[in-house]
Amino acid sequence: MVELSEVFETYEMVSHENLDVRTITMGISLLDCIDPDLDALCAKIHDKIVRLAGRLVEVGDQLGVEFGVPVINKRVSVTPIAIVGGAACRSPADFVRIAETLDATADEIGINFIGGYSALVQKGMTPADRMLIESIPEALAKTERVCSSISLGSTRTGINMDAVRLMGDIVVRAAEATKDRDSIGCAKLVVFCNPPDDNPFMAGAFHGVTEADHVINVGVSGPGVVREALTKVRGRSFEELCETIKKTAFKVTRVGQLFAKEASKRLDTPFGIVDLSLAPTPAVGDSIADIIHEMGMEYAGAPGTTAALAILNDQVKKGGVMASSYVGGLSGAFIPVTEDSAMAEAAEIGALTLEKLEAMTCVCSVGLDMIAVPGDVPATSIAGIIADEMAIGMVNQKTTAVRIIPVIGKTVGDRVAFGGLLGDAGIMPVNRYDCADFVNRGGRIPAPIHSFKN
Protein backbone atom coordinates (compact mmCIF):
# COMPACT_ATOMS: atom_id res chain seq x y z
CA MET A 1 0.00 0.00 0.00
CA VAL A 2 1.23 3.53 -0.82
CA GLU A 3 1.63 5.63 2.32
CA LEU A 4 0.16 9.16 2.32
CA SER A 5 3.59 10.49 3.34
CA GLU A 6 5.07 9.05 0.14
CA VAL A 7 2.43 10.83 -1.94
CA PHE A 8 3.30 14.16 -0.31
CA GLU A 9 7.02 13.46 -0.67
CA THR A 10 6.67 12.83 -4.41
CA TYR A 11 4.53 15.97 -4.78
CA GLU A 12 7.27 18.03 -3.13
CA MET A 13 9.92 16.49 -5.38
CA VAL A 14 8.00 17.44 -8.52
CA SER A 15 6.57 20.82 -7.55
CA HIS A 16 9.45 22.35 -5.60
CA GLU A 17 12.59 20.26 -6.26
CA ASN A 18 12.51 19.85 -10.08
CA LEU A 19 12.16 16.07 -10.16
CA ASP A 20 11.56 14.96 -13.72
CA VAL A 21 12.07 12.16 -16.19
CA ARG A 22 14.65 13.92 -18.31
CA THR A 23 14.20 11.71 -21.34
CA ILE A 24 12.48 8.67 -22.76
CA THR A 25 14.74 7.58 -25.61
CA MET A 26 13.90 4.86 -28.11
CA GLY A 27 16.98 3.20 -29.54
CA ILE A 28 16.43 1.89 -33.06
CA SER A 29 18.71 -0.34 -35.12
CA LEU A 30 19.04 0.76 -38.73
CA LEU A 31 21.18 -2.20 -39.80
CA ASP A 32 18.29 -3.69 -41.77
CA CYS A 33 17.92 -0.37 -43.65
CA ILE A 34 21.36 -0.59 -45.29
CA ASP A 35 21.06 -0.20 -49.05
CA PRO A 36 23.59 0.77 -51.77
CA ASP A 37 21.04 3.22 -53.19
CA LEU A 38 21.01 6.46 -51.19
CA ASP A 39 17.38 7.30 -51.97
CA ALA A 40 16.25 3.84 -50.90
CA LEU A 41 18.36 4.04 -47.74
CA CYS A 42 16.84 7.38 -46.72
CA ALA A 43 13.32 6.08 -47.38
CA LYS A 44 13.95 2.97 -45.26
CA ILE A 45 15.39 5.06 -42.41
CA HIS A 46 12.35 7.35 -42.43
CA ASP A 47 9.83 4.50 -42.58
CA LYS A 48 11.40 2.46 -39.77
CA ILE A 49 11.72 5.38 -37.37
CA VAL A 50 8.13 6.50 -38.01
CA ARG A 51 6.81 2.95 -37.65
CA LEU A 52 8.53 2.30 -34.32
CA ALA A 53 8.67 5.76 -32.71
CA GLY A 54 5.59 7.42 -34.17
CA ARG A 55 3.78 7.24 -30.81
CA LEU A 56 6.77 8.02 -28.60
CA VAL A 57 5.78 11.63 -27.90
CA GLU A 58 2.14 10.70 -27.30
CA VAL A 59 3.05 7.98 -24.81
CA GLY A 60 5.59 10.16 -23.03
CA ASP A 61 3.04 12.91 -22.57
CA GLN A 62 0.42 10.43 -21.35
CA LEU A 63 2.77 9.02 -18.73
CA GLY A 64 3.71 12.47 -17.50
CA VAL A 65 0.05 13.35 -16.94
CA GLU A 66 -0.92 10.02 -15.41
CA PHE A 67 1.99 9.80 -12.95
CA GLY A 68 2.31 13.51 -12.25
CA VAL A 69 6.02 13.63 -13.12
CA PRO A 70 6.95 15.64 -16.24
CA VAL A 71 8.76 13.94 -19.10
CA ILE A 72 10.99 16.70 -20.45
CA ASN A 73 12.34 15.11 -23.64
CA LYS A 74 11.29 12.39 -26.03
CA ARG A 75 14.19 11.26 -28.20
CA VAL A 76 15.42 8.63 -30.64
CA SER A 77 18.91 7.18 -31.03
CA VAL A 78 19.97 5.14 -34.05
CA THR A 79 22.80 2.90 -35.19
CA PRO A 80 25.96 4.93 -35.94
CA ILE A 81 25.29 6.43 -39.36
CA ALA A 82 28.86 5.82 -40.56
CA ILE A 83 27.98 2.11 -40.48
CA VAL A 84 24.51 2.50 -41.94
CA GLY A 85 25.56 4.83 -44.76
CA GLY A 86 28.81 3.17 -45.75
CA ALA A 87 27.37 1.25 -48.70
CA ALA A 88 25.46 4.20 -50.17
CA CYS A 89 27.56 7.29 -49.49
CA ARG A 90 30.30 8.36 -51.89
CA SER A 91 30.95 11.82 -50.44
CA PRO A 92 30.36 13.90 -47.30
CA ALA A 93 27.40 15.48 -49.10
CA ASP A 94 25.72 12.06 -49.26
CA PHE A 95 25.97 11.77 -45.49
CA VAL A 96 24.42 15.24 -45.15
CA ARG A 97 21.44 13.84 -47.09
CA ILE A 98 21.02 11.21 -44.38
CA ALA A 99 21.28 13.88 -41.66
CA GLU A 100 18.53 15.87 -43.35
CA THR A 101 16.38 12.71 -43.52
CA LEU A 102 16.90 12.13 -39.80
CA ASP A 103 16.02 15.75 -39.04
CA ALA A 104 12.85 15.73 -41.15
CA THR A 105 11.76 12.43 -39.58
CA ALA A 106 12.39 13.75 -36.06
CA ASP A 107 10.28 16.80 -36.89
CA GLU A 108 7.51 14.62 -38.29
CA ILE A 109 7.16 12.50 -35.15
CA GLY A 110 7.68 15.48 -32.83
CA ILE A 111 10.74 14.36 -30.86
CA ASN A 112 13.27 16.81 -29.40
CA PHE A 113 16.50 15.28 -30.69
CA ILE A 114 17.74 12.32 -32.70
CA GLY A 115 21.19 10.94 -31.95
CA GLY A 116 23.45 8.58 -33.83
CA TYR A 117 25.03 10.76 -36.50
CA SER A 118 28.11 9.00 -35.27
CA ALA A 119 31.29 7.08 -36.04
CA LEU A 120 33.32 4.71 -33.88
CA VAL A 121 36.96 5.35 -34.79
CA GLN A 122 38.85 4.59 -31.59
CA LYS A 123 41.30 2.34 -33.45
CA GLY A 124 41.09 3.54 -37.04
CA MET A 125 38.89 5.15 -39.68
CA THR A 126 37.17 3.60 -42.69
CA PRO A 127 36.51 5.82 -45.72
CA ALA A 128 32.87 6.05 -44.60
CA ASP A 129 33.93 7.14 -41.09
CA ARG A 130 36.08 9.91 -42.51
CA MET A 131 33.37 11.10 -44.88
CA LEU A 132 30.82 11.27 -42.06
CA ILE A 133 33.26 13.19 -39.85
CA GLU A 134 34.02 15.63 -42.68
CA SER A 135 30.27 16.15 -43.18
CA ILE A 136 29.53 17.09 -39.55
CA PRO A 137 29.83 20.90 -39.81
CA GLU A 138 27.43 21.09 -42.76
CA ALA A 139 25.09 18.46 -41.31
CA LEU A 140 24.75 20.27 -37.96
CA ALA A 141 24.32 23.64 -39.68
CA LYS A 142 21.49 22.34 -41.89
CA THR A 143 19.57 20.47 -39.17
CA GLU A 144 17.92 21.37 -35.88
CA ARG A 145 17.43 18.06 -34.09
CA VAL A 146 20.36 15.90 -35.22
CA CYS A 147 23.11 15.20 -32.67
CA SER A 148 26.55 13.85 -33.52
CA SER A 149 29.05 11.83 -31.49
CA ILE A 150 32.43 10.35 -32.34
CA SER A 151 34.28 7.70 -30.32
CA LEU A 152 38.00 8.47 -30.38
CA GLY A 153 39.44 6.10 -27.80
CA SER A 154 38.92 3.25 -25.39
CA THR A 155 40.78 1.45 -22.64
CA ARG A 156 41.10 -1.64 -24.85
CA THR A 157 42.36 0.07 -28.01
CA GLY A 158 44.07 3.30 -27.00
CA ILE A 159 43.45 6.73 -28.55
CA ASN A 160 43.25 7.41 -32.28
CA MET A 161 45.25 10.64 -32.38
CA ASP A 162 44.68 11.11 -36.11
CA ALA A 163 40.96 11.30 -35.35
CA VAL A 164 41.58 13.54 -32.32
CA ARG A 165 43.51 16.01 -34.49
CA LEU A 166 40.80 15.86 -37.17
CA MET A 167 38.07 16.53 -34.61
CA GLY A 168 39.91 19.65 -33.47
CA ASP A 169 39.40 21.00 -36.99
CA ILE A 170 35.81 19.73 -37.19
CA VAL A 171 34.81 21.48 -33.95
CA VAL A 172 36.18 24.78 -35.26
CA ARG A 173 34.48 24.25 -38.64
CA ALA A 174 31.17 23.43 -36.92
CA ALA A 175 31.51 26.64 -34.92
CA GLU A 176 32.14 28.64 -38.10
CA ALA A 177 29.20 27.01 -39.89
CA THR A 178 26.79 28.18 -37.17
CA LYS A 179 28.49 31.43 -36.12
CA ASP A 180 25.28 33.36 -36.83
CA ARG A 181 23.72 31.39 -33.92
CA ASP A 182 26.60 31.66 -31.43
CA SER A 183 28.21 28.50 -32.87
CA ILE A 184 25.37 26.33 -31.56
CA GLY A 185 26.34 23.47 -33.89
CA CYS A 186 29.08 22.54 -31.41
CA ALA A 187 26.44 22.09 -28.69
CA LYS A 188 25.16 19.10 -30.71
CA LEU A 189 28.61 17.51 -31.13
CA VAL A 190 30.47 15.41 -28.57
CA VAL A 191 33.54 13.17 -28.66
CA PHE A 192 33.96 10.13 -26.40
CA CYS A 193 36.35 7.70 -24.86
CA ASN A 194 34.69 4.42 -23.80
CA PRO A 195 31.16 5.43 -24.87
CA PRO A 196 28.30 3.17 -23.70
CA ASP A 197 26.01 1.62 -26.32
CA ASP A 198 22.82 2.48 -24.43
CA ASN A 199 23.19 6.14 -23.43
CA PRO A 200 19.83 7.98 -23.65
CA PHE A 201 21.33 11.46 -23.17
CA MET A 202 22.17 13.81 -26.03
CA ALA A 203 24.36 14.75 -27.72
CA GLY A 204 26.09 11.41 -27.15
CA ALA A 205 23.25 8.95 -27.67
CA PHE A 206 23.58 6.26 -30.31
CA HIS A 207 22.13 2.76 -30.61
CA GLY A 208 25.02 0.32 -30.29
CA VAL A 209 25.40 -2.60 -32.68
CA THR A 210 25.15 -5.04 -29.75
CA GLU A 211 21.67 -3.75 -28.86
CA ALA A 212 18.30 -5.28 -29.79
CA ASP A 213 16.35 -4.07 -32.83
CA HIS A 214 14.61 -1.42 -30.72
CA VAL A 215 14.58 -0.65 -26.99
CA ILE A 216 13.31 1.93 -24.52
CA ASN A 217 15.92 3.67 -22.36
CA VAL A 218 14.93 6.21 -19.71
CA GLY A 219 17.08 8.93 -18.21
CA VAL A 220 15.83 10.25 -14.88
CA SER A 221 17.20 13.30 -13.11
CA GLY A 222 16.75 15.09 -9.82
CA PRO A 223 19.61 17.36 -8.69
CA GLY A 224 17.11 19.56 -6.86
CA VAL A 225 15.78 16.56 -4.94
CA VAL A 226 19.28 15.59 -3.80
CA ARG A 227 20.15 19.16 -2.82
CA GLU A 228 16.97 19.49 -0.75
CA ALA A 229 17.66 16.19 1.01
CA LEU A 230 21.15 17.39 1.94
CA THR A 231 19.78 20.51 3.63
CA LYS A 232 18.53 18.17 6.35
CA VAL A 233 22.03 16.85 7.18
CA ARG A 234 24.07 20.06 7.21
CA GLY A 235 27.19 19.75 9.33
CA ARG A 236 26.76 16.04 9.93
CA SER A 237 29.23 13.25 9.24
CA PHE A 238 30.23 11.93 5.83
CA GLU A 239 28.47 8.67 6.70
CA GLU A 240 25.13 10.49 7.06
CA LEU A 241 25.84 12.57 3.97
CA CYS A 242 26.49 9.48 1.85
CA GLU A 243 23.50 7.60 3.22
CA THR A 244 21.21 10.54 2.41
CA ILE A 245 22.41 10.76 -1.20
CA LYS A 246 22.09 7.01 -1.64
CA LYS A 247 18.53 6.85 -0.31
CA THR A 248 17.46 9.81 -2.44
CA ALA A 249 19.00 8.29 -5.58
CA PHE A 250 17.06 5.10 -4.87
CA LYS A 251 13.76 6.99 -4.82
CA VAL A 252 14.56 8.93 -7.99
CA THR A 253 15.60 5.79 -9.85
CA ARG A 254 12.40 4.00 -8.89
CA VAL A 255 10.49 6.71 -10.73
CA GLY A 256 12.59 6.05 -13.82
CA GLN A 257 12.05 2.30 -13.53
CA LEU A 258 8.28 2.82 -13.38
CA PHE A 259 8.27 5.04 -16.47
CA ALA A 260 10.58 2.73 -18.41
CA LYS A 261 8.44 -0.35 -17.83
CA GLU A 262 5.20 1.43 -18.64
CA ALA A 263 6.61 3.05 -21.79
CA SER A 264 8.01 -0.32 -22.84
CA LYS A 265 4.57 -1.94 -22.50
CA ARG A 266 2.62 0.79 -24.29
CA LEU A 267 5.06 1.03 -27.18
CA ASP A 268 5.51 -2.75 -27.44
CA THR A 269 9.26 -2.22 -27.19
CA PRO A 270 11.71 -4.08 -24.91
CA PHE A 271 12.90 -2.24 -21.80
CA GLY A 272 16.60 -1.43 -22.06
CA ILE A 273 18.07 0.54 -19.14
CA VAL A 274 17.48 3.31 -16.65
CA ASP A 275 20.18 5.98 -16.67
CA LEU A 276 20.15 7.58 -13.24
CA SER A 277 22.39 10.52 -14.13
CA LEU A 278 21.89 13.78 -12.25
CA ALA A 279 21.58 16.10 -15.26
CA PRO A 280 21.11 19.77 -14.39
CA THR A 281 19.06 22.40 -16.20
CA PRO A 282 19.39 26.19 -16.24
CA ALA A 283 16.43 26.37 -13.84
CA VAL A 284 17.29 27.74 -10.40
CA GLY A 285 17.52 24.88 -7.88
CA ASP A 286 18.20 22.21 -10.51
CA SER A 287 21.97 22.30 -10.25
CA ILE A 288 24.92 20.00 -9.53
CA ALA A 289 26.90 23.04 -8.36
CA ASP A 290 24.17 23.76 -5.80
CA ILE A 291 24.60 20.22 -4.43
CA ILE A 292 28.35 20.82 -4.13
CA HIS A 293 27.61 24.12 -2.34
CA GLU A 294 25.24 22.33 0.04
CA MET A 295 28.00 19.80 0.78
CA GLY A 296 30.16 22.63 2.12
CA MET A 297 31.81 24.54 -0.75
CA GLU A 298 31.41 28.29 -1.05
CA TYR A 299 31.38 27.78 -4.83
CA ALA A 300 31.91 24.81 -7.11
CA GLY A 301 35.63 24.81 -7.84
CA ALA A 302 36.77 25.49 -4.30
CA PRO A 303 39.34 23.08 -2.79
CA GLY A 304 37.51 19.85 -1.99
CA THR A 305 35.15 20.08 -4.97
CA THR A 306 36.57 16.99 -6.68
CA ALA A 307 36.16 14.97 -3.48
CA ALA A 308 32.59 16.19 -3.08
CA LEU A 309 31.77 15.24 -6.68
CA ALA A 310 33.33 11.80 -6.16
CA ILE A 311 31.06 11.23 -3.16
CA LEU A 312 28.01 12.36 -5.11
CA ASN A 313 28.76 10.21 -8.13
CA ASP A 314 29.46 7.07 -6.13
CA GLN A 315 26.45 7.32 -3.85
CA VAL A 316 24.12 8.04 -6.78
CA LYS A 317 25.30 4.84 -8.45
CA LYS A 318 24.96 2.81 -5.22
CA GLY A 319 21.43 4.03 -4.63
CA GLY A 320 20.47 3.49 -8.25
CA VAL A 321 21.64 -0.08 -8.61
CA MET A 322 19.50 -1.06 -5.63
CA ALA A 323 16.44 0.43 -7.36
CA SER A 324 16.77 -1.20 -10.78
CA SER A 325 18.37 -4.35 -12.14
CA TYR A 326 19.07 -2.60 -15.44
CA VAL A 327 21.05 0.53 -14.65
CA GLY A 328 23.11 1.63 -17.65
CA GLY A 329 24.01 4.52 -19.88
CA LEU A 330 26.22 7.05 -18.10
CA SER A 331 24.60 7.05 -14.62
CA GLY A 332 26.24 9.60 -12.39
CA ALA A 333 26.57 13.38 -12.13
CA PHE A 334 26.87 15.62 -15.20
CA ILE A 335 28.80 18.89 -14.96
CA PRO A 336 27.78 20.91 -18.07
CA VAL A 337 28.67 24.55 -17.53
CA THR A 338 26.09 26.38 -19.65
CA GLU A 339 23.28 24.01 -18.62
CA ASP A 340 23.85 24.55 -14.88
CA SER A 341 23.18 28.10 -13.71
CA ALA A 342 25.23 27.79 -10.51
CA MET A 343 28.09 26.11 -12.38
CA ALA A 344 28.06 28.95 -14.92
CA GLU A 345 28.15 31.50 -12.08
CA ALA A 346 31.13 29.75 -10.47
CA ALA A 347 32.97 29.79 -13.81
CA GLU A 348 32.16 33.47 -14.39
CA ILE A 349 33.63 34.63 -11.08
CA GLY A 350 36.74 32.49 -11.54
CA ALA A 351 36.03 29.88 -8.86
CA LEU A 352 35.77 27.21 -11.55
CA THR A 353 38.44 26.97 -14.24
CA LEU A 354 38.89 24.68 -17.22
CA GLU A 355 41.71 22.90 -15.39
CA LYS A 356 39.54 22.31 -12.31
CA LEU A 357 36.73 21.00 -14.51
CA GLU A 358 39.21 18.56 -16.06
CA ALA A 359 40.16 17.33 -12.59
CA MET A 360 36.48 16.88 -11.74
CA THR A 361 35.96 14.73 -14.85
CA CYS A 362 38.14 12.06 -13.26
CA VAL A 363 35.29 11.29 -10.86
CA CYS A 364 32.10 12.47 -12.59
CA SER A 365 29.80 10.77 -15.06
CA VAL A 366 31.13 12.14 -18.34
CA GLY A 367 33.62 14.95 -18.95
CA LEU A 368 34.13 18.51 -20.15
CA ASP A 369 30.61 19.41 -21.14
CA MET A 370 29.00 22.52 -22.68
CA ILE A 371 32.00 24.78 -22.17
CA ALA A 372 32.00 28.00 -24.19
CA VAL A 373 35.47 29.26 -25.09
CA PRO A 374 36.81 32.11 -27.25
CA GLY A 375 36.20 31.70 -30.96
CA ASP A 376 39.86 32.21 -31.80
CA VAL A 377 41.13 29.17 -29.86
CA PRO A 378 43.27 27.20 -32.35
CA ALA A 379 42.05 23.83 -33.59
CA THR A 380 45.25 22.29 -32.23
CA SER A 381 44.39 23.50 -28.72
CA ILE A 382 40.89 22.02 -29.06
CA ALA A 383 42.54 18.74 -30.09
CA GLY A 384 44.86 18.94 -27.08
CA ILE A 385 41.91 19.41 -24.71
CA ILE A 386 40.21 16.41 -26.33
CA ALA A 387 43.40 14.32 -26.01
CA ASP A 388 43.66 15.13 -22.29
CA GLU A 389 40.09 14.00 -21.67
CA MET A 390 40.46 10.85 -23.77
CA ALA A 391 43.56 9.95 -21.72
CA ILE A 392 41.63 10.31 -18.45
CA GLY A 393 38.96 7.93 -19.75
CA MET A 394 41.41 5.43 -21.20
CA VAL A 395 43.62 5.13 -18.13
CA ASN A 396 40.77 5.17 -15.60
CA GLN A 397 38.55 2.73 -17.56
CA LYS A 398 35.62 5.15 -17.55
CA THR A 399 33.54 7.12 -20.00
CA THR A 400 34.83 10.61 -20.67
CA ALA A 401 33.72 13.15 -23.24
CA VAL A 402 34.27 16.66 -24.56
CA ARG A 403 31.56 19.04 -25.78
CA ILE A 404 33.32 22.35 -26.25
CA ILE A 405 31.99 25.42 -28.07
CA PRO A 406 34.44 27.93 -29.55
CA VAL A 407 32.02 30.83 -30.02
CA ILE A 408 33.08 32.71 -33.14
CA GLY A 409 33.39 36.46 -32.57
CA LYS A 410 33.36 36.26 -28.77
CA THR A 411 36.09 36.25 -26.17
CA VAL A 412 36.62 36.04 -22.41
CA GLY A 413 34.26 38.47 -20.69
CA ASP A 414 31.48 37.98 -23.23
CA ARG A 415 28.40 35.87 -22.65
CA VAL A 416 26.60 33.35 -24.83
CA ALA A 417 22.93 32.34 -24.58
CA PHE A 418 21.69 29.19 -26.32
CA GLY A 419 18.23 29.07 -24.76
CA GLY A 420 16.18 26.15 -23.48
CA LEU A 421 18.01 23.32 -21.76
CA LEU A 422 21.31 24.42 -23.33
CA GLY A 423 21.37 27.49 -21.09
CA ASP A 424 23.89 30.35 -21.06
CA ALA A 425 27.27 31.22 -19.58
CA GLY A 426 30.32 33.41 -19.84
CA ILE A 427 33.19 32.57 -22.19
CA MET A 428 35.89 30.64 -20.30
CA PRO A 429 39.60 31.25 -20.86
CA VAL A 430 41.80 28.55 -22.39
CA ASN A 431 45.52 28.06 -21.75
CA ARG A 432 47.14 29.94 -24.64
CA TYR A 433 50.40 27.95 -24.77
CA ASP A 434 50.86 25.86 -27.89
CA CYS A 435 50.50 22.07 -28.21
CA ALA A 436 50.56 21.79 -32.01
CA ASP A 437 53.81 19.77 -32.17
CA PHE A 438 52.22 17.16 -29.90
CA VAL A 439 48.82 16.73 -31.56
CA ASN A 440 50.33 16.81 -35.07
CA ARG A 441 52.48 13.72 -34.45
CA GLY A 442 49.75 11.43 -35.81
CA GLY A 443 49.17 7.73 -35.18
CA ARG A 444 47.66 6.06 -32.14
CA ILE A 445 48.42 6.20 -28.43
CA PRO A 446 48.63 2.54 -27.32
CA ALA A 447 46.23 1.07 -24.79
CA PRO A 448 47.48 1.09 -21.17
CA ILE A 449 49.05 -2.04 -19.72
CA HIS A 450 46.03 -2.78 -17.53
CA SER A 451 43.84 -3.13 -20.64
CA PHE A 452 45.07 -6.69 -21.19
CA LYS A 453 42.51 -8.76 -19.31
CA ASN A 454 41.78 -11.72 -21.58
Residue ranges per structural domain of the chain: 23-193, 217-440
Domains 23-193 and 217-440 share a fold: yes
Q: Which one, of 101, 130, 126, 106, lies nearest residue 54 by Cα?
A: 106
344-358 average pLDDT score: 92
- The model's confidence at residue 454, banded by pLDDT at 50, 70 and 90, is low
Kindly report, residue by residue over 211-253, the tens digit of the pLDDT. 999 999 988 877 888 888 899 999 999 999 999 999 888 888 8
Least confident of 24-38, 295-309, 353-367: 353-367
Specify the pTM. Answer: 0.91
106-117 average pLDDT score: 96
**pLDDT at position 285, please?**
66
Residue 178 has phi, psi (to 5 degrees) of -125, 30
124-147 average pLDDT score: 97
Query: Distances from the Cα of 370 to the Cαs of 63, 192, 306, 336, in angstroms?
Result: 30, 14, 19, 5
Q: Which one, of 288, 400, 399, 309, lies nearest residue 363 by Cα?
A: 309
**pLDDT at position 284, please?**
61
Which residue pairs, CB below 8 angstroms and at least 24 apart, start in 306-310?
306/356, 306/359, 306/360, 306/362, 306/363, 309/333, 309/335, 309/360, 309/363, 309/364, 310/363
- The model's confidence at residue 135, banded by pLDDT at 50, 70 and 90, is very high
Which residues contact residue 43 at a Cβ distance below 8 angstroms, ignoring those fewer than 6 apart? none
Domain covering 217-440 in this structure, CATH number: 3.20.70.20
Residue by residue, DSSP assigns 311-324 as HHHHHHHHHHHHH-
The angle at the Cα of 92, spanning 88 to 94, to the nearest 5 degrees, equals 40
- Classify domain 23-193 at the CATH class level: alpha beta
pLDDT at 16 over 60: no
pLDDT at 337 over 60: yes
More confident residue, 317 or 114: 114
| CA gap 390, 157 in Å, rounded | 12
158-182 average pLDDT score: 96
Kindly report, residue by residue over 42-74, the tens digit of the pLDDT. 999 999 999 999 999 999 999 988 888 888 889
- The model's confidence at residue 309, banded by pLDDT at 50, 70 and 90, is very high
Kindly report, residue by residue over 251-267, the tens digit of the pLDDT. 888 888 888 888 889 99
Query: Distances from the Cα of 45 to the Cαs of 84, 110, 192, 272, 349, in angstroms?
Result: 9, 16, 25, 21, 47
**pLDDT at position 15, please?**
44
Query: Distances from the Cα of 447 to the Cαs of 128, 291, 358, 359, 363, in angstroms?
Result: 24, 35, 21, 21, 20
**pLDDT at position 153, please?**
96
The H or E element spanning position 88 is none
**pLDDT at position 214, please?**
95
Q: Outline where DSSP puts E strands in 44-188.
A: 71-78, 113-120, 146-154, 158-160
Q: Considering the chain, what is the average pLDDT of its residues?
A: 89
| CA gap 360, 349 in Å, rounded | 18
Percentage with pLDDT > 70 across the chain: 95
C-beta separation of 373 from 405 below 8 A = yes
More confident residue, 376 or 451: 376
